[in-house]
Amino acid sequence: MPGVVIGVDVGGTTVRVARVDDVGRITARRAFPSHAEEASLPADEAFEQFIFRLVGAIRELLGGSADAPGSCVVGIAVPGPVDTTTETVRRCTNLSFLNGRTLGGVIAARTGIEVVLMTDIAAAARAEQAAIGAESGRFGHLRFGTGIGYVEFDGLIPVELLRDGDAHLDVLRAGSAFAQVCVCGLSGCLEAYLPSSWHDEERRNWTAEAAAAFETVVLRLRRRLGGEGVLVIGGGRSTADRHLAQRIDGLAAEGEMPGQSRVRRAVCGDDAGVLGAASVARGMLERRRARL
Ligand SMILES: [Zn+2]
């Protein structure tokens, strides 16, 4: 009997929950608002309400399969860093009631099934990698969402990337020619030139400097990945921001460049999080069965 895999994508406004079959298709889905109905609720109550809704959605999607917990697994993607050894959310800027919570453990305890916690960017990257069939070789995913994230795989193995404490990743900094100070305290981060507060029309204007920072970082990533690699660029802002969208389309249309990876536009859209979370969780279920 195939295992039942549920992917959960905790977004800043919506939590998406989906049951995903063994070839990566969504067979059923649920969604609910990320925030408590009353924004003023204390963090403990907001967390309880969140857990109540999430457990309800998971149970609905499991249906009768909940009787065989050993063959079910849930992957949960959250918008911030996680501690994968304790299944704890380290920091979730937009959903502060999740900070420091052992989200994986709480869901596992209430549903009786195994949970894998991951960052949303890791989940999205896994979905994009699978969608374009780039599961061998070097693969990078640059994502413009609430913040700017990047993850890299060598085949299916995540590549450890350098960062200075909680500052932005070293590979997402444009270099010493870019002096703008970032919210993380460093200077030259791509985030400082293309800030997350892009809803603000004035800051969304692409300056020549912002464009140069973007080009510099993308070139750096393409050289890291090399001629055989693939760099997929995605996230909500990659289509909503006109300037960014045009530039990504331009890069994707380019021919091959010696020593540089190809650039592709992300294809999974809003489903990247649930598909990737399910894919990582399925990998865990399969490894566990292989041991039995
Ligand atoms: Zn920074």
54-98 pLDDT tens trace: 999 999 999 866 556 568 899 999 998 899 888 899 988 789 999
Query: Considering the chain, what percentage of its residues have pLDDT values greater than 90?
Result: 65
Rounded distance from Cα 2 to ligand 1 centre (Å): 43
Rounded distance from Cα 194 to ligand 1 centre (Å): 11
Cβ-count burial 247-285 (b if 16+ within 10 Å, e if not): bbeebeeeeeeeebbbbbbbebeebbbbbbbbbbbbbbb
Rounded distance from Cα 185 to ligand 1 centre (Å): 6
pLDDT(198) > 80: no
- The fold of the 133-266 domain, in CATH, is Nucleotidyltransferase; domain 5 (3.30.420)
> Which pLDDT belongs to residue 206?
76
Question: For 28-32, 68-72, 81-85, 172-176, which range has the lowest pLDDT when averaged over its residues?
Answer: 68-72
pLDDT(14) > 90: yes
Rounded distance from Cα 62 to ligand 1 centre (Å): 41
Q: For the chain, give every residue range classified as CATH 3.30.420.40.
A: 4-122+271-291, 133-266
Could you give the residue ranges of the DSSP H alpha helices within the chain?
Answer: 43-62, 103-111, 120-131, 190-193, 201-204, 208-225, 237-240, 242-253, 272-291
Options 1.25.40.80, 3.30.420.40, 3.30.465.10, 3.90.1300.10; which CATH number does 4-122+271-291 get?
3.30.420.40
Rounded distance from Cα 245 to ligand 1 centre (Å): 22
Residue 38 vs residue 190, higher pLDDT: 190
> By C-alpha distance, which of 184, 244, 238 is closest to 211?
244
> By C-alpha distance, which of 142, 159, 116 is closest to 276?
116
pLDDT(233) > 60: yes
**Is 136 within 8 Å of 127 (Cβ atoms)?**
no
pLDDT(32) > 90: yes
Sorting pLDDT into bands at 50, 70 and 90, what band is 169?
very high
Rounded distance from Cα 172 to ligand 1 centre (Å): 8
Distance (Å, whole) CA 273 – CA 40: 28
Dihedral sign computed on CA atoms, order 287, 136, 150, 200? negative
Rounded distance from Cα 169 to ligand 1 centre (Å): 8
Give the CB-side neighbour count of residue 25, counting CA atoms within 13 A: 2
Dihedral sign computed on CA atoms, order 238, 242, 247, 250? positive
> By C-alpha distance, which of 74, 69, 83 is closest to 10?
74
State the chain's mean pLDDT as an integer.
Answer: 90
Tokens standing for 118?
């991951």
- Average pLDDT rounded to a whole number, residues 99-111: 95
Distance (Å, whole) CA 12 – CA 93: 9
pLDDT(1) > 50: no
